[in-house]
Amino acid sequence: MKARQTLQQTTFKDVMVEILHRITEGPWGPGTLLPGEVALAEEFSCSRTTMNRALREVAELGFLDRKRKAGTRVRMAPIRQARFEMPLVRAEVEKTGAPYRYKLVRHEIISAPDWLRSQMKLKIGQKVVHIVCVHLANGDAFQLEDRWINATALPEALEQDFTEVGPNEWLIATVPFSEVSISFRATAADALIVTHLDHKFGEPVFCVERATWWQNAAITLVTLSYRRDYKMTAHY
């Protein structure tokens, strides 16, 4: 906080902004134990009541886990109450009453191709994990997932084989996100889509492209292609 702000001038919203900045931009990464309320109130030049409210508000946004004896920690994977909720394809399938199944098609660790480096702002030679997999509903292909994971930002991905648990589930359980970009488009079915989604060559396919970031580092870029009768519904 700026030194010129006085005890009376500093509001809980001022404190919230700074706390969120420290969580999303550093230095308070996932799992960080925050100093006590008294110490934070002194550092932020505010009353303990103001600090308590700010921490409570940030916790309600899903970024902090507050426990009376254990203190306040930054969540490993923030609960998104007022922000975008990352979809879990297993839950989407099971919600329809159909049994869910996952099938790994391709798993490789390579240097990021030029187009991906440009899109994810990666350096030359930077390693990425490339996974192609199919999510099935009642035995039929539901979604084709073509995903790239930044191994520099998330080295744990290098140790995963993704044979049993897909990257969608693993990422949601492993890493939080501070920024998401999503685009929707219709694309012509290529060989990969034809093989795994049973579309005809050139047939229009509904696709979702999603990029996820954490603390200014690109985590993953994924293209999700859907079967013919897929319908996306959003509630606001």
- Contact between 222 and 146 under an 8 Å Cβ cutoff? The reply is yes
Which helix (H) or strand (E) is 30 found in, with range?
A: none
89-226 architecture in CATH?
Answer: 3-Layer(aba) Sandwich (3.40)
The C-alpha atoms of residue 19 and residue 58 are separated, in whole angstroms, by 8
Q: What per-residue confidence (pLDDT) applies to 181? A: 86
8 A C-beta contact, residue 168 and residue 88: yes
C-alpha to C-alpha distance for 199 and 188, rounded to whole angstroms: 10
- Which CATH number fits the domain 12-74, given the four candidates 3.40.50.1100, 3.40.50.720, 1.20.1440.230, 1.10.10.10? 1.10.10.10
3-state class (DSSP) for residue 137: strand
Which are the contacts of 40, defined by CB distance < 8 A and separation ≥ 6? 34, 51, 55
Topology alike, domains 12-74 and 89-226: no
Nearest to 215 by CA among 74, 85, 52: 74
| Residue 111 and residue 179 in contact, taking contact as beta carbons nearer than 8 Å | no
130 neighbors 108 (Cβ within 8 angstroms): yes
pLDDT in the model for residue 233 = 64
Sign of the alpha-carbon torsion through 111, 115, 116, 122: positive
Could you tell me the residue ranges of all domains in the chain? 12-74, 89-226
Task: Give, for all 236 residues of the chain, the pLDDT tens digit.
Answer: 443 344 456 788 788 888 988 887 778 888 899 999 999 999 999 999 999 999 998 888 788 988 887 899 998 766 554 345 667 899 999 999 999 999 999 999 999 999 999 999 999 999 999 999 999 999 999 999 999 999 999 999 999 999 999 999 999 888 777 788 888 888 899 999 999 998 999 888 999 999 998 878 899 999 999 998 887 765 54
Q: Are 84 and 176 in contact (CB under 8 A)?
A: no
Give me the sign of the Cα torsion angle 229, 80, 220, 160. negative
Q: Whole-model pTM?
A: 0.65
Q: Please tell me the predicted confidence (pLDDT) of residue 17.
A: 81
d(CA 120, CA 209): 13
The answer to whether 226 touches 143, Cβ cutoff 8 Å, is: yes
What's residue 35's pLDDT?
95
